[in-house]
Amino acid sequence: MMFMMNPTAPVTIRKGLSGTASSRRRSGRGTAGPSIVPDLAPCGIMALASGDHPPSTRHNGAPPMNVLITGGAGFIGANFVHQTLVRHPDAKVTVLDKLTYAGNRGSLADLGERVDLVVGDIADADTVDPLVAGADVVVHFAAESHNDNSLRDPSPFIRTNLVGTFTLLEAVRRHKVRFHHISTDEVYGDLELDDPAKFEPTTPYNPSSPYSSSKAGSDLLVRAWVRSFGVEATISNCSNNYGSYQHIEKFIPRQITNLIDGVRPRLYGAGANVRDWIHVRDHNDAVWDIIERGRIGETYLIGADGEKSNREVVELILELMGRDPNDYDHVADRPGHDMRYAIDSTKLVQELGWSPRYTDFRSGLRATIDWYRGNEAWWRPLKAEVEAAYAAQGQ
């Protein structure tokens, strides 16, 4: 199957996908797009290849494994689709994605027939039910994901993050399908800069923004469906991801694409806020480890000890792009801006043996810069609108 870069392209019905109860799936079609492989290759970090993970045994021993990935045309979800097809070469992968402003068919374009893209809403039970019925596992990435957008208009966050997750939970409950819920460290609120503490699975929820509170609510729904209905689910809460295919509204790709355009990076407030950066591939490897070996009902925190202030990150981007590290602007701060996130991933490491592989932030960032330089066609159509929205709020 082929995909188009144009997210409004018509959707077609394809028949005959083997091995699942859902034999009819809607799909996109179109031209080839950017590949995941170039992003880490230039800096000598292992490129994504079939040797990355030994091909696994099939889920529940029943071939083929049908994996339903919600939000698979977004940043982390698209990387997860690519990684899944390396780790589980025989898997049948279906993506359910509404293709909001954040979804991009082009992020899956190089996968062609290997992925079925269903353009639809996770909050629409009629769309969700037959897809879940045909799946062995549902990996739930779909969300409204940007804090700044949630401050402009919280309503889509409530519908997608809460009603959407509820709709999926009801379907996996009905069809007894394994569910993994992707969540964020932001559900725990924030930490002081000088606090030695990190977030742990037992840290009380204390979200700050409409985005993080809607994610916190979705986590609680999952926990309740496990306890009350015996749904077989796990949850992961990860820190800030970076890598290829990230929407340019987000911090790192916004600064990289600004610099490509000759515009100075924009730092909210003083830039002292700390984020705990992890490469998207390390996040996704952990998700598969949890799906394969995690205990039902458990929450796993994913992080790679990557704490950096926003100022440090901007200065490093400037340096790597051959500019004066002080050549950036301070702009209006985000209301309610969380100060610091930090993840303690001991449980994941000790229980499941996961460890991050892309821990050299400098190399990962250089590779990410190279990816945005090499894939301008992917992000260019988004840039003017994103910057206009920021400009309207003094950012």
Q: What are phi and psi of 360, to 5 degrees?
A: -85, 95
d(C-alpha 72, C-alpha 143), whole Å: 11
DSSP type of residue 56: P
Q: Which does 94 bind (CB under 5 to 8 A by kind): ligand NAD, ligand DAU, none?
A: none
Q: Which does 142 bind (CB under 5 to 8 A by kind): ligand DAU, ligand NAD, none?
A: ligand NAD
CB of 184 to ligand DAU, least distance (A): 3
Residue 91 or 143: the one with the smaller Cβ distance to ligand NAD is 143
Point out the catalytic residue in the list 121, 144, 188, 211. Answer: 211
338 is catalytic: no
Q: Which of 93, 142, 169, 235 binds ligand NAD (CB under 6 A)?
A: 142
195 tagged catalytic: no
Of 266, 258, 262, 257, the closest CA to residue 377 belongs to: 257
Q: Which two tokens stand for residue 37?
A: 């492989």
Say which amino acid occupies 100: T
> For the range 344-347, what are the long-range contacts, defined as Cβ-Cβ under 8 Å and sequence gap of 24 or more?
344/198, 344/199, 344/200, 344/301, 344/303, 345/300, 345/301, 345/302, 345/303, 345/304, 346/200, 347/200, 347/201, 347/300, 347/301
Q: Residue 341 touches which of ligand NAD, ligand DAU, none (CB < 5 to 8 A by kind)?
A: ligand DAU
Residues in the chain: 395
Q: Are 304 and 282 in contact (CB under 8 A)?
A: yes
Q: Is 241 in the site for ligand NAD (CB under 6 A)?
A: yes
The label of the residue with tokens 């292992």 reads 46
215 binds ligand NAD (CB under 6 A): yes
User: Which position among 144, 185, 289, 315 bears the catalytic label?
Assistant: 185
Side chain identity at 171, as an amino acid letter?
A: A
Q: Annotated catalytic, 186?
A: yes
Chosen from ligand DAU, ligand NAD, none, partner binding at 141 (C-beta under 5 to 8 Å by type): ligand NAD
Under rule CB under 6 A, residue 208 binds ligand DAU = no
Work out what residue 182 binds among ligand NAD, ligand DAU, none; the CB cut-off runs from 5 to 8 Å by kind: ligand NAD
Q: How many residues bind ligand NAD (CB under 6 A)?
A: 31
Q: Which residues are catalytic?
A: 185-186, 211
Residues that bind ligand DAU (CB under 6 A): 145-147, 184-186, 239-240, 250-251, 254, 266-268, 273, 275, 310, 334, 341
